[in-house]
Amino acid sequence: MKDSLGYLVLALGGIITASVGAVAHRGYVPYGLVGSILMVGLAAFFARAWLGFAGIGVLGGAWVLATFVWSMNGPGGSVLIAQDALGIGWLVGGTLMIVAASVVPTKVLVGGHGSR
């Protein structure tokens, strides 16, 4: 039960991270983009340290799905993640942060006595 609640929290965290980043990456260029990418990195490293590969899979999957939704055209033709340098930087940077959190050795994240 404790782990399933953890996965739910990470899924919500992925959706919230994608939603905040989809809006914030365009503000105060380039600081908004850098801050949004760092936010994804912090969430990804937290998910990996907390629930291991399954945790980062849940967070990453929720982030990808929410980011996909925010990059589609809205009813009026507007988008939150445009096909320009900032939008592509947000997509690539967030993805690279999730991948980076996946390849860091567990010993670095949780120490020598980590169980995950």
- Residue range 60-69: mean pLDDT, rounded: 97
Domains in the chain: boundaries? 2-104
pLDDT for 1 equals 73
Token couple for 66: 């929410």
C-alpha closest to that of 56 among 93, 104, 114: 104
pLDDT tens digit sequence for 71-83: 999 888 889 999 9
Identify the pLDDT of residue 116: 55
Q: How confident is the model at residue 45 (pLDDT cuts 50, 70, 90)?
A: very high
Q: How confident is the model at residue 17, as a pLDDT?
A: 98
Q: How confident is residue 106, by pLDDT bands cut at 50, 70 and 90? A: confident
Q: How far is 48 from 42, CA to CA, in rounded Å?
A: 10
Residue 54 CA to residue 116 CA, distance in Å, equals 10
pTM of the complete model beyond 0.95:
no
Cβ-based neighbour number of residue 70 at 10 Å: 18
Closest by CA to 102, choosing from 52, 66, 58, 62, is: 52
Band of the pLDDT at 41, cuts 50, 70, 90?
A: very high
Q: Give 22-39 pLDDT, tens digit per residue.
A: 999 999 989 999 999 999
Confidence of residue 114 (pLDDT cuts 50, 70, 90): low
CA angle 64, 67, 70 (to 5 degrees): 155
- pLDDT, residue 113, reads 67
